[in-house]
Chains A and B, each alone.
Chain A
Amino acid sequence: MSEEKKYETLETAYGTFQTTYNKMYRERKPWVPANPKNIVCHIPGTIVKVMVKEGDQVKPGDLLILFKAMKMNNNVVAQKAGTIKKICVKAGENVKNHTVLIEME
């Protein structure tokens, strides 16, 4: 029943315990804070048209990208004023969820 086993340790608010990890715990992703300067998509889809170019000044509400996802054309608009530093995608490109579309400064 109890053969010698090598255990891992788990830190909790109540001290450190010997135990084993499960797959879900071992493969959990570390948290990365969102970069407010990046414009990221929250659904996978296709870039229909990029309406701005690098160096452009934009103000809140300006249309940046036409983005097709789940058979809908979505307008990606600027949330705040700034300069387009880098456009990371081009028209026709399929993008995965959480892809950085535009870097602002």
Chain B
Amino acid sequence: MSVEDKKVLELQQRIEKIAVGGGEKAIEKQKAMGKLTARERIIALLDPDSFHEYDLFVEHDGRDFGMQDKSLPGDGVIIGTGSICGSPIAIFAQDFTVAGGSLGFMHARKITKIMDYALNMRIPLIGINDSGGARIQEGVNALAGYGEIFFRNTLSSGVIPQISVILGPCAGGAVYSPALTDFVFVVENISKMFITGPEVIKTVLGEEISMEELGGARVHSEQTGNAHFFATSEEECFGQIRKLISMIPPANNIPAPKAAPADPQPQYDITSIVPADPTVPYDVRDVIKALVDGSDFLEVMELFAANIVVGFGRIDGETVGFIANQPMVLAGVLDCDSSDKAARFIRFCDAFGIPIVTLEDLPGYLPGIDQEHAGVIRHGAKMLYAYSEATVPSITVILRKAYGGGYIAMGSRHLRADFVFAWPNAEIAVMGPEGAANIIFRKEIMGAEDPAKMREQKIQEYKEKFANPYVAASRGYIDSVIAPSDTRKFIQHALHVAAHKSRHQPAKKHGNPPF
């Protein structure tokens, strides 16, 4: 055996020793919780044999509370680069089998190192979170580590896509790294996110709640809006991540991967999805599927604020972001949550150069004391801001209703949509015909012999005047009134025409959106 061979053998032994992580017992525990190990996760997520690891030999530098005598393999986190569907990505995965995946100074430095790589190389960053929290033996050094991560999350925001995968606990300050990233993936019964856990809540407040009920995958997908993708298994979750990576750009100055163009599937017939009666609901996702290549639509935040639908599809092989009112849920109204959801999605698309298509069919904003007190003014304003700020190609199609403030908010011409189309049955009005007639024709109605009959007559009059797209078209607010069957054709052409669109915001440090 040559000296080189000896050294290589020693290297292999060193690697093997560290690569097992926290050892058999800890791995058994991890498996008993239904979880894969950090290394298994990386291998399952990335293209085969694509993972290259860095900082395997990093050791922690804790010197207090007996930590100086302990060796923590890899300091509880694996970092490296690899590829997904052939595209390079950077990844870190916290290893719960090593000291509970706790975050110490060197653990954080490994994470920030791979974050710096990702930003400098302009490749997406994926972070797999599975950690008990700060390594308390390291005191403020652990907190410093979190701060360094949050800072880099913010620095990278809008430059490279950042994806957080919650595959275990993610508690206390640790939650703010995922919260700062673009997409958060959660898995039922595995993901747990909260600022203060059930134990603290029980001690301080005497209220008992399980981890799952407090901050489980479903809670964050349906109620808080912290999570963007919900899965029932880690495998399903990895499939969702691969799909997303295949559709979004690797950085803000590089276009999204192109796919071969395909026609929508014939079972989605755009002419038969939307009922003529504006009060009858339908699933707007069927309209999206009737428009996108292969009827393949990747919905984002499917379970949160389902009254608006957002997600990615392709048209002629190019990725497009869709924002659509969903008449099937809460009649498709705008409210605090749906405005938040749409605004954040629009800003992602704009930051990464993805054109947006808006499908509009809504009866304005949700009325209610709870909405007003929850700040629907502030939240609703986010959407106006996001549309107005967006400089990517923006195409709006009014499918049916566009009433009041909703008409303005949903990517209207006035907020600088490039193309606005409407179907012939579209109704655009400043308010509902009943309310409008009562105000405009108050004198006539009150002075009439039969006020009820007169009111009905005036409502009809108002409807005939405004319940169509031609008034807006006569002002040029709508570019073309189009047959539903021509919608894909018009969007294709508009995207083609707007491919090299150039519109710039006035020079500024940054705006001040109503966060």
Q: How far is the CB of A24 from chain B (nearest CB, A)?
A: 7
| A94 interface residue (CB < 8 Å to B) | yes
Task: Name the contact of A24 in the complex, choosing from B223, B286, B364 (C-beta under 8 A).
Answer: B223
A1-16 interface (Cβ within 8 A of B): 1-2, 7, 10-16
Residues of B contacting A11 with CB < 8 Å?
367
User: Is B337 within 8 A of A24, CB to CB?
Assistant: yes
User: Is B329 within 8 A of A19, CB to CB?
Assistant: yes
Complex-state Cα separation, A40 to B243, whole angstroms: 51
Q: How far is the CB of B462 from chain A (nearest CB, A)?
A: 12
Residues of B contacting A25 with CB < 8 Å?
330, 366
User: Is B373 within 8 A of A31, CB to CB?
Assistant: yes
Q: How far is the CB of A53 from chain B (nearest CB, A)?
A: 26
Complex-state Cα separation, A17 to B434, whole angstroms: 14
User: Is B331 within 8 A of A17, CB to CB?
Assistant: yes
Q: Determine which residue in A14, A23, A25, A29 has the highest number of CB atoms from chain B within 10 A of its CB, and name it.
A: A14
Complex-state Cα separation, A14 to B366, whole angstroms: 10
Q: How far is the CB of A8 from chain B (nearest CB, A)?
A: 9
User: Is A18 within 8 A of B280, CB to CB?
Assistant: yes
Complex-state Cα separation, A25 to B363, whole angstroms: 16
Task: Name the contact of A7 in the complex, choosing from B223, B281, B432 (C-beta under 8 A).
Answer: B281
Q: Which residue on B lies nearest to A46, using beta carbons?
A: B204
| B175 interface residue (CB < 8 Å to A) | no
Complex-state Cα separation, A25 to B328, whole angstroms: 14
Complex-state Cα separation, A31 to B368, whole angstroms: 9
User: Is B369 within 8 A of A19, CB to CB?
Assistant: no
User: Is B432 within 8 A of A15, CB to CB?
Assistant: yes
| B205 interface residue (CB < 8 Å to A) | yes
Q: How far is the CB of B213 from chain A (nearest CB, A)?
A: 13
| B502 interface residue (CB < 8 Å to A) | no
Q: How far is the CB of A33 from chain B (nearest CB, A)?
A: 10
| A44 interface residue (CB < 8 Å to B) | yes
Residues of A contacting B364 with CB < 8 Å?
12-14
| B245 interface residue (CB < 8 Å to A) | no
Which residues of B does A touch, CB under 8 Å? 204-207, 222-223, 267-268, 273, 278-283, 286, 305-307, 327-333, 337, 363-370, 373, 401, 403-404, 429, 431-435
What are the 8 A-B residue pairs with the smallest beta carbon separation, nearest first? A14-B432, A17-B331, A14-B363, A31-B369, A19-B331, A12-B363, A10-B331, A14-B403
Other A-B pairs beyond A13-B363, A15-B279, A22-B307, 20, CB < 8 Å:
A1-B273, A1-B283, A1-B286, A7-B281, A12-B331, A13-B432, A13-B435, A17-B363, A20-B281, A20-B329, A22-B330, A23-B222, A23-B223, A24-B222, A25-B330, A25-B366, A28-B370, A31-B369, A44-B204, A94-B205
**What are 6 pairs between A and B in contact, CB < 8 Å?**
A1-B268, A1-B283, A12-B365, A14-B429, A17-B281, A31-B370
